[in-house]
Amino acid sequence: MFRSASRVRSGSVPGRVQGYVSECGIREGCPQGCQYPADMTSLTPLDNLSPVTRAAYRARGAAAEIAPLPRAAKDEALLAIADALEVRTAEIVEANAVDIAKAREAGTSEAIVDRLTLTPERVRAIAADVRDVAALPDPVGEVVRGSTLPNGIDLRQVRVPLGVVGIIYEARPNVTVDAAALCLKSGNAVLLRGSSSAYASNNALVTVLRDAVGAPACPPTPSSSSPASPASRSAS
């Protein structure tokens, strides 16, 4: 969920990325590295783009905000997510029952139905996994290796977030939470594309996760079977 980036430093050079993608368009001072359509300006509304493209731009903007978050903030959010999953287990299981019923009506094999199923025990296990992720060391900023050149310049290979992680998966609603937690821990925004067979489950899970971290809601992406995860306020 993160990459190693080599960088040369000859002292501390503070800097801040200004601006991000908003619901209404591109604000001035967009994050470094953002690549937008040539005809897009700071006044171009995201509504003119496809739902998936809008979500991607929001994710790219959110990535700049998530990447520098300290470990304490990320761990606090993860623990809040774990607590919310346990508190709202009944709501999640009820939504999952809708997917299970549709799967059986469609003649889906019991093996896939079992993979799709969320029981109170499984939801509690997912919450426990989120707490395990919170307990992991923060990978962001870890120095992998480095050396000092004869001229005194320090070379360091440092782990940094990738930016935006896209994940496609099917009939595994637990992946919605697992992927969101791992990406948040590693400082990445995430776009999740679950299967239509788990739509109700994923929608309920994303609602719980978003509420837990206090992210604003956004409408589901019509071309996607489940809303993008709140691990990125990107799609929020």
Which pLDDT tens digit goes with each residue over 23-35? 333 333 344 445 5
When pLDDT is cut at 50, 70 and 90, the band that residue 41 belongs to is: low
When pLDDT is cut at 50, 70 and 90, the band that residue 54 belongs to is: confident
Instruction: Say what the pLDDT of residue 40 is.
Output: 55
Instruction: Say what the pLDDT of residue 168 is.
Output: 93
Q: What is the percent of the chain where pLDDT is above 90?
A: 59
Give the DSSP per-residue string, the chain. Answer: -EEEEEEEESS---------B-SSSBPSSPPTT----TT--TT--GGGS-HHHHHHHHHHHHHHHHTT--HHHHHHHHHHHHHHHHHTHHHHHHHHHHHHHHHHHTT--HHHHHHH---HHHHHHHHHHHHHHHHSPP-TT-EEEEEE-TTS-EEEEEEEE-SEEEEE--S-THHHHHHHHHHHHTT-EEEEE--GGGHHHHHHHHHHHHHHHTPPP-PPPTTSSSPPPTTSGGG-
When pLDDT is cut at 50, 70 and 90, the band that residue 37 belongs to is: low
Mean confidence (pLDDT) of the chain = 79
